């Protein structure tokens, strides 16, 4: 009897759950996605987004049943009457010039901006308490946020979620640029995810790979969104985003082949059972031309095309919830490979050795048409030994001109040259085929102004020193070694004086 009762209990609950599935739709849902974007500079950017949507009114008291939406954040929203919360931790800087525009950029350090509900009476007090609570949750020094680094923007940072009126009095914004992001901030961020780091895309989130990057940004965004198309009721959306940029040289060892294993040292094994959507998008826009093809392995079954950030992009989709995706190999490792080797075929560099040999730099480059290529080299100026200066050092020192040897495609194909028949000006450079011609060009020599010492200074110093020594030492010497006699004042005419002068010069006693 006792054994049968628990069994009955179990059965009832299971049936009950199935019944509820038919009666009402799930109240919260999780979508996770990873976007892999090969960047123009050879690096690779990976952006994770985990979005939990909860169809509930959190303003009401007594909400105690949390399923996918983390309880820590749900309690924050109800206790401090938040309308929106955006918190990000970033290390590094997004280099738009080399990487292109970002999906979502964040400033270096920690950034927190919050919209409070208009029922809040003392916004500053709530703001201070909220930053203290967040510092405990995320193990960061957010408690340093106070009135000295908080502002109330009046025009920007409009709410990203639903808003009927925007009185900027309820907005607060603060940035802590000195804040460091490390594993202790990633760990509580991962714990907010429904599947933690056990299943789905979050198994890739390992600290030792994620922090070995040029750019690391993790953020939490909470905002109210429309529940349905008619937008008559509110759902709360929690988005957790993490963007990293893997450096081609540090992580990729200079090669442009990327795979999930090389980036994260892990592969995807199974989707998160709590997720309603779990996808990986790979940007394959730029790499379908004939010159260089990017090969994506395993080949995608579906693609997605849209205008993103102003340009048309194509993404390959890998759906983890699709059973065919992971079935055969039990893990998914997406690989991106270049089919053609990169253009820079040959570089030879021989650094200089002081007073032995000069720098030598030789490069073989293939230049694309209608383009400008700049080659620059940095150098430092050093001081030479004083004997190595030329007599006119202020003129500068010459660096030999650079040489450009080029094979230029001809507009019109020429026929091969017969040495003896053709004029002399046409037979300087031997050509193998007529489709291009060889030319050797030189740049101007470079005149470099080296730091020149003042060569007259030693002479000046010697004169000055000798004068001082002579005056001081000489005076002392005279005082110490000469005896002084009192001389009678002599009267005498001019002739007698002149005669005494001459006698003194001769060494004879005077008159």
Partner 1 sequence: ISSNALSVSTETVICFLSFDQAEQFFRSGHTNNWAVLVCTSRFWFNYRHVANTLSVYRSVKRLGIPDSHIVLMLADDMACNPRNPKPATVFSHKNMELNVYGDDVEVDYRSYEVTVENFLRVLTGRIPPSTPRSKRLLSDDRSNILIYMTGHGGNGFLKFQDSEEITNIELADAFEQMWQKRRYNELLFIIDTCQGASMYERFYSPNIMALASSQVGEDSLSHQPDPAIGVHLMDRYTFYVLEFLEEINPASQTNMNDLFQVCPKSLCVSTPGHRTDLFQRDPKNVLITDFFGSVRKVEITTETINLQQGSEIMESSYKEDQMDEELMEPLKYAEQLPVAQIIHQKPKLKDWHPPGGFILGLWALIIMVFFKTYGIKHMKFIF
Provide the binding-site residues for partner 1, judged by CB under 8 A: 5, 9-10, 12-14, 16-17, 20, 24, 27, 56-57, 63, 65, 91, 128-129, 132-133, 135-137, 139-141, 143-144, 154-156, 158-164, 166, 178, 180-184, 187-188, 206-208, 210-212, 226, 230-234
For partner 1, the closer of residues 102 and 300 by Cβ is 102
CA atoms within 13 A on the CB side of 194: 25
For partner 1, the closer of residues 94 and 157 by Cβ is 157
For partner 1, the closer of residues 17 and 482 by Cβ is 17
For partner 1, the closer of residues 150 and 286 by Cβ is 150
Q: How far is the CB of 68 from partner 1 (least distance, A)?
A: 14
Q: Hey, CA dihedral for 15, 18, 20, 23, is it positive or negative?
A: negative
Q: How far is the CB of 159 from partner 1 (least distance, A)?
A: 5
Cis omega (within 30 of 0) for bond into 298? yes
For partner 1, the closer of residues 54 and 318 by Cβ is 54
Q: How many whole angstroms separate alpha carbon 362 and alpha carbon 40? A: 25
Q: How far is the CB of 178 from partner 1 (least distance, A)?
A: 8
Q: Which residue has the tokens 């093809």?
A: 293
Q: Beta strand pairing status for 215-226 and 82-92?
A: antiparallel
Q: How far is the CB of 255 from partner 1 (least distance, A)?
A: 21
For partner 1, the closer of residues 182 and 317 by Cβ is 182
Q: Are 1 and 7 in contact (CB under 8 A)?
A: no
For partner 1, the closer of residues 182 and 417 by Cβ is 182
For partner 1, the closer of residues 233 and 449 by Cβ is 233
On the 0-12 / 13-18 / 19+ scale of CB atoms within 10 A, 463 is exposed
Locate 369 and state its tokens: 């048409």
Q: How far is the CB of 194 from partner 1 (least distance, A)?
A: 14
For partner 1, the closer of residues 158 and 490 by Cβ is 158
For partner 1, the closer of residues 39 and 162 by Cβ is 162
Q: How far is the CB of 132 from partner 1 (least distance, A)?
A: 4
Q: How many whole angstroms separate alpha carbon 478 and alpha carbon 465? A: 19
Q: How far is the CB of 166 from partner 1 (least distance, A)?
A: 6
Locate 474 and state its tokens: 């000489």
Can you list the pairs that 14-19 forms with residues at least 24 positions away whose Cβ atoms lie under 8 Å?
none
Going by C-alpha positions, the residue among 413, 263, 273, 388 that lies closest to residue 336 is 263
Distance of CA 326 to the CA centre of its chain: 34
Q: How far is the CB of 173 from partner 1 (least distance, A)?
A: 15
Q: How far is the CB of 457 from partner 1 (least distance, A)?
A: 41
Going by C-alpha positions, the residue among 440, 413, 414 that lies closest to residue 429 is 440
**What are phi and psi for residue 192, nearest 5 degrees?**
-75, -15
Q: How far is the CB of 139 from partner 1 (least distance, A)?
A: 5
Q: How far is the CB of 233 from partner 1 (least distance, A)?
A: 6
Q: How many whole angstroms separate alpha carbon 338 and alpha carbon 341? A: 7
Q: How far is the CB of 134 from partner 1 (least distance, A)?
A: 8
Identify the three-state secondary structure at position 118: coil
For partner 1, the closer of residues 132 and 475 by Cβ is 132
Q: How far is the CB of 64 from partner 1 (least distance, A)?
A: 9
Q: How many whole angstroms separate alpha carbon 160 and alpha carbon 237? A: 11
Q: Beta strand pairing status for 446-448 and 258-259?
A: unpaired
Nearest 5°: CA angle at 221, between 164 and 180? 140
Going by C-alpha positions, the residue among 201, 179, 168 that lies closest to residue 32 is 201
Q: Which residue has the tokens 């030329």?
A: 390
Q: Beta strand pairing status for 28-38 and 275-283?
A: parallel
For partner 1, the closer of residues 265 and 460 by Cβ is 265
For partner 1, the closer of residues 57 and 122 by Cβ is 57
Q: Are 106 and 217 in contact (CB under 8 A)?
A: yes
How many other C-beta atoms are found inside a 10 Å radius of the C-beta of residue 187?
14
Question: Which residues is 404 bridged to in the sheet?
Answer: 441
- CA dihedral of residues 405, 406, 407, 409 (deg, nearest 10): -160
Q: Are 17 and 34 in contact (CB under 8 A)?
A: no
């Amino acid at each position: 009897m006792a054994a049968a009762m628990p069994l009955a209990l179990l059965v009832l609950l299971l049936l009950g759950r199935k019944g509820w599935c038919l009666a009402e739709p799930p109240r919260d849902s999780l979508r996770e996605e990873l976007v892999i974007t090969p960047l123009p500079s050879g690096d690779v950017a990976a952006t994770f987004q985990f979005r939990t949507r909860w169809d509930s009114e959190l303003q009401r008291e007594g909400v105690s049943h949390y399923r996918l939406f983390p309880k820590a954040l749900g309690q924050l929203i109800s206790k401090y009457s938040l309308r929106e919360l955006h918190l990000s931790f970033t290390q590094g800087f997004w280099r738009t010039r080399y990487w292109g525009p970002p999906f979502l950029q964040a400033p270096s350090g920690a950034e927190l901006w919050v919209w409070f509900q208009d029922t809040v009476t003392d916004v500053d007090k709530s703001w201070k308490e909220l930053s203290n609570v967040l510092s405990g949750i995320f193990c960061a020094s957010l408690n340093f946020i106070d009135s000295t680094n908080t502002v109330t923007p009046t025009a920007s940072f409009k709410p990203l979620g639903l808003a009927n009126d925007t009185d900027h009095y309820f907005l607060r914004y603060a940035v802590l640029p000195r804040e460091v992001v490390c594993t202790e901030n990633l760990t509580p961020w991962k714990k907010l995810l429904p599947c933690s780091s056990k299943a789905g895309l979050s198994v890739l989130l390992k600290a030792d790979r994620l922090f070995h990057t040029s750019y690391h940004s993790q953020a939490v965004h909470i905002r109210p969104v429309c529940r349905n198309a008619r937008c008559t009721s509110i759902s709360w959306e929690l988005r957790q985003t993490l963007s990293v940029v893997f450096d081609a040289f540090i992580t990729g060892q200079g090669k442009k082949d990327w795979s999930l294993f090389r980036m994260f040292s892990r592969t995807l094994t199974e989707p998160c059972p709590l997720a309603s959507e779990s996808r990986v998008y790979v940007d394959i826009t730029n790499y379908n031309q004939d010159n260089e093809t990017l090969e994506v392995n395993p080949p995608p079954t579906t693609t997605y095309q849209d205008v993103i950030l102003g340009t048309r992009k194509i993404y390959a989709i890998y759906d983890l919830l699709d059973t065919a995706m992971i079935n055969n190999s039990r893990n998914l490792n997406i690989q991106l490979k270049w089919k053609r080797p990169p253009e820079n075929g040959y570089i030879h560099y021989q650094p200089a050795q002081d007073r032995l040999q000069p720098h030598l730099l030789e490069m073989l480059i293939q230049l694309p048409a209608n383009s400008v290529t700049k080659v620059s080299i940095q150098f430092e100026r050093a001081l030479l030994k004083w004997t190595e200066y030329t007599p006119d050092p202020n003129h500068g020192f010459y660096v030999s001109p650079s040489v450009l040897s080029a094979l230029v495609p001809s507009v019109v194909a020429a026929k091969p040259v017969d040495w003896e028949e053709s004029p002399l000006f046409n037979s300087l450079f031997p050509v193998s085929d007529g489709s291009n011609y060889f030319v050797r060009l030189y740049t101007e020599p470079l005149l470099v102004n080296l730091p020149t010492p003042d060569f007259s200074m030693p002479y000046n110093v010697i004169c000055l020193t000798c004068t001082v020594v002579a005056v001081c030492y000489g005076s002392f010497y005279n005082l110490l070694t000469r005896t002084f006699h009192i001389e009678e004042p002599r009267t005498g005419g001019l002739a007698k004086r002149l005669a005494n002068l001459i006698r003194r010069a001769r060494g004879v006693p005077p008159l």
